[in-house]
Amino acid sequence: MNTKKAKKTMKKGLRQAQKQGVAIRKSTAKKYEAVKRSAIEKGGLLEDMAIKEYENIKKQMDQTTKKAEDYIKKNPAKAALISAGIGAALAAAAALLMSGGKKNNRKKK
């Protein structure tokens, strides 16, 4: 093959590659936009679901807090004993964690 034919063939191949590149770029841009729109829509749906779930949990927590307050008002002594017991259990757990759960094993001489 002579040089002119080779150059002509290379230019033809280059033009075809450029055309294919443009087509791929356009196709990719369309797909990207479609995926982007879908993600935005799904993100909005997830946000709505999260807000509804948050509101449900908040409502349940408010109801539980009200029940606890009513119980404390009706049974103050019992509530104080329960609180003291929980405090003692938490203090024991904290002490156990602080000591690393190891017993003091000293060798006797």
Q: Over the stretch 11-40, which tens digit does the pLDDT of each residue have?
A: 888 888 888 988 898 889 888 989 988 888
Structure tokens that stand for 68 in this block: 């606890």
Tokens 């001489």 — which residue? 109
Helical H runs in the chain? 3-74, 76-98
The number of residues making up the chain comes to 109
Q: Is the pTM of this model over 0.85?
A: no
What percentage of the chain exceeds 70 in pLDDT? Answer: 91
Domain boundaries, the chain: 3-97
Q: How far is it, in rounded angstroms, from Cα 67 to Cα 62?
A: 9
